[in-house]
Amino acid sequence: MATRSKSSQRWLKEHFSDPFVKKAKAEGLRSRAAYKLEELVERDRLLKPGMTVVDLGAAPGGWSQWLRQELDRLDPARPGRVVALDILEMPPLAGVEFLHGDFRDDAVLSRLEQSLGGRPVDLVLSDMAPNMSGVDAVDLPRAMYLAELAMDFADRHLRTGGTFLIKLFQGVGFDEYVRQLRRRYDKVAIRKPEASRRRSAEVYALAQGKRAAMK
């Protein structure tokens, strides 16, 4: 039987001692990532009853699960919609519409657009990330490509005044991406939630108040 490398042993030790991992398990949540979203959403009060939310890069479902619970809690009579998409399979979640496929594929994107039925989206979330190789020169362009696709999707489907929340990795292309967001939205802030591991290069860009036309 192959022995684990020291780096993988360190990761496992860190993972299982992580207070957010323990909390997620105790509260029946699929992922510790739910606490990133909880902090980001509650700080700016992003959720409203009856919202339509699209969750890109949703698997294993931590964000969609938390969203569904919160929207139901806000107003059970107006539950809104949570539409989730990922290249990975995701076990079903009650009240969450899941589409399995690669967001880079035009046919998959078309299916997502059809499921929306032409109705505008109130909140677009993207926690998408490529499979990381550990080589920045490879990983950052892949991550930025996904971020560009997510921004294009928000351009087409997010309602005027809507909100776009996306995971980004600091590095080449980051500053220009944020500049592009500032052309499209009234308010753009960069957040690092407490549940995001300190050594991670990930941050979240929160873009609020989509403009009817870019500056």
Tell whether residue 61 is among the known ligand binding residues: yes
Tell whether residue 127 is among the known ligand binding residues: yes
For the record, the structure tokens of 129 come out as 């990330």
Across the chain, how many H-helices and E-strands are there? 7, 7
Tell whether residue 72 is among the known ligand binding residues: no
Nearest to residue 209, comparing CAs of 164, 153, 152, 151?
Answer: 164
What is the CA angle 71-72-77, rounded to 5? 110
Tell whether residue 11 is among the known ligand binding residues: no
Tell whether residue 102 is among the known ligand binding residues: yes
16-25 own/partner pairs: CB under 8 Å, 24+ apart: 20/195, 24/62
Query: Per-residue DSSP letters for 129-168?
Result: -PPP-S-HHHHHHHHHHHHHHHHHHHHHHEEEEEEEEEEE
Q: Distance (Å, rounded) from C-alpha 150 to C-alpha 15?
A: 29
Q: Distance (Å, rounded) from C-alpha 131 to C-alpha 116?
A: 28
Q: Is 167 a catalytic residue?
A: yes
Among residues 6, 23, 48, 167, the one annotated as catalytic is 167
Binding residues: 61, 63, 86, 102, 127
Q: Which are the catalytic amino acids? A: 167
